[in-house]
Amino acid sequence: MRMANSMLARNVRRSGLALPRNDSTTATVFTPASGTIAPQKLAARYGKTAQDRQALTDIGGRLLQLYENSHKQPGAPKNDLANVLAFSLKTSYLVYSDGKGRLTEEQSDGVVKILRAFIVAHPPYERMSDRDKQEAYETFAILGTFTSVAYDEARKRNDTRLMAGLRSMAQNHIEEILGPLNSIVMTKDGFAYR
């Protein structure tokens, strides 16, 4: 995923953000496999013991469910990779900016449109199976929800060390996908590169 994300960042910057023709709102929607994928994969990667893996699977499942429950919008496509990636990036930006980077609805819609166009134009996306798309979707949903929940909790407890760590994690996430933050400027239509 890291290589695909960094290639996406290079392609986005190189393109000057001219939208490809296929910016259909369903272009990044996939048909999910049965059951979840990412909670178990993340648990297998990070859990040291069977008990750790089970706990991480449960937490990942709850974070995914929290995302799904809080992002049901009438008329919005379900299982949309562009929407969940935008959520993950917007959440990371909000945490990185210590709550000052809240996007307007117009900016949020613009971010989704830009990401949708570039995901579709990105050659490896065409080769991804629905299962791979589901895993990416779930991973972004878990990451975005975890970042949001953990940062809110750290702020409530005034845990400045944890808040700093989460801001750093958020910055890394944004830069892994879009490139250096100092090359990105928020616009009324989403974002652009300097």
d(CA 36, CA 174): 25
Sign of CA dihedral 181, 182, 187, 192: negative
Q: Is residue 112 part of a domain?
A: yes
pLDDT by residue (tens digit) across 56-72?
999 999 999 999 998 87
**Closest CA relative to residue 117, chosen from 194, 193, 15, 188:** 15
Partnered with residue 29 across adjacent β-strands are 80
pLDDT by residue (tens digit) across 128-184?
999 999 999 999 999 999 999 999 999 999 999 999 999 999 999 999 999 999 999
At 51, the amino acid letter reads: Q
Q: Pinpoint the alpha helices (H) of the chain.
A: 2-15, 38-46, 50-70, 81-96, 105-121, 123-127, 130-156, 160-178
Q: Is residue 10 part of a domain?
A: yes
Q: Is residue 43 part of a domain?
A: no
Both structure tokens of 102: 């809240």
Q: Is residue 149 part of a domain?
A: yes
Q: Is residue 119 part of a domain?
A: yes
At 182, the amino acid letter reads: N
Contact 96, 182 (CB under 8 A): no
Average of per-residue pLDDT across 22-26: 66
What pTM was estimated for this model as a whole?
Answer: 0.85
Q: Is residue 70 part of a domain?
A: no
d(CA 12, CA 18): 9
Domain count, the chain: 1
Structural domain harbouring 9: 2-15+79-193
Q: Is residue 71 part of a domain?
A: no
- Reported as a pLDDT band with limits 50, 70 and 90, residue 16 is very low
Q: Is residue 135 part of a domain?
A: yes
